[in-house]
Structure 1
Amino acid sequence: MTQTAQSQRQGILMTDAALKHVLLLREKQGQDLCLRVGVKGGGCSGMSYTMNFEDASNIQPTDEVYDYDGFKVVCDPKSLLYLYGLVLDYSDALIGGGFQFTNPNADQTCGCGKSFSA
């Protein structure tokens, strides 16, 4: 199954560019880690996105786990209320590059694109 076809059934979607970059970053860590995506209070618009690598042993029974050809993306249920349908992309552009979040649940986003309100 192609990444695009698989990701259409995911609650958190990753573009091929984002997945490629995350896997590269994980390789530099030298461990088989998963990616935890979530939200926390703060930022310009009220809530900020969080992304961290963590050991798969930290996955909780209540977490949603999305598999991308063996790489796990994990999200807690409270964050998923705000993130379901999120598209995580990556650009290596000199201006505006980095990870980009397209969140269908956001009423408003800040200029940097790293925080939102819902």
Structure 2
Amino acid sequence: MTQATQTPTKGIQLTETALKQVLMLREQEGKDLCLRVGVRQGGCSGMSYIMDFEDVSNIGEQDEVYDYDGFKIVCDRKSLLYLYGLVLDYSNAMIGGGFEFTNPNANQTCGCGKSFGV
């Protein structure tokens, strides 16, 4: 895992590699979007990570916003209960590559790394 780009005081941290990948993907969208990260019920371990771009106008009062040099990561407070301290990394490995979630709150993680249990 690469080093997180911000101090650990942020509830959701991005590595430099993940930030570069997210910025590249956002540029392909052609809009100034933020990244919403959250959880939902389901997945093989009980809860699944969700992550998608969203218009900044959708940021609400119930959301926590983390700024990374002008790029915003948004997480609703309910999801943040399960994600606080999460480190989002990115790997371009041929097998098993993609975004990787390191969640200090998870007591079990499925093999694909996209779901977890608490």
Q: Give TM class, smaller chain.
A: over 0.9
State the AA in 2 paired with 1:79: S
Alpha-carbon deviation of 1:62? 1.7
Dislocated runs of 4+, deviation >4 Å: none
Cα distance in 2, alignment partners of residues 33 and 43 from structure 1: 27
Q: Deviations over 1:11-68 (max 9, x none)?
A: 0000000000000000000000000000001111010000010000000012000000
Is the contact made by 1:7 and 1:14 (CA closer than 8 Å) also made in structure 2?
Answer: no
Amino acid at match of 1:108: Q
Task: State the TM-score, normalizing by the size of structure 2.
Answer: 0.95
Equivalent positions of 1:29-48 (< 5 A) are 29-48=29-48
Percent identity (aligned): 73
What is the count of residue pairs matched by the alignment?
116
The residue that corresponds to 1:84 in the other structure is 84
Give the whole-Å Cα distance in 2 for the aligned partners of 1:77 and 1:58: 15
CA RMSD of aligned residues (A): 1.2
In 2, the alpha carbon distance for the partners of 1:29 and 1:7 equals 28
What residue ranges of structure 2 are gaps of 5+ in the alignment?
Answer: none
1:15 alignment partner AA: T
Flag structure 1 segments of 5+ consecutive residues without an equivalent.
none
Give the structure with the larger helix fraction.
1
Q: Determine the C-alpha separation between the residues in 1 that align with 2:6 and 2:101.
A: 19
CA contact (8 A) 2:36 2:53 kept: yes
Give the structure-1-normalised TM-score: 0.95
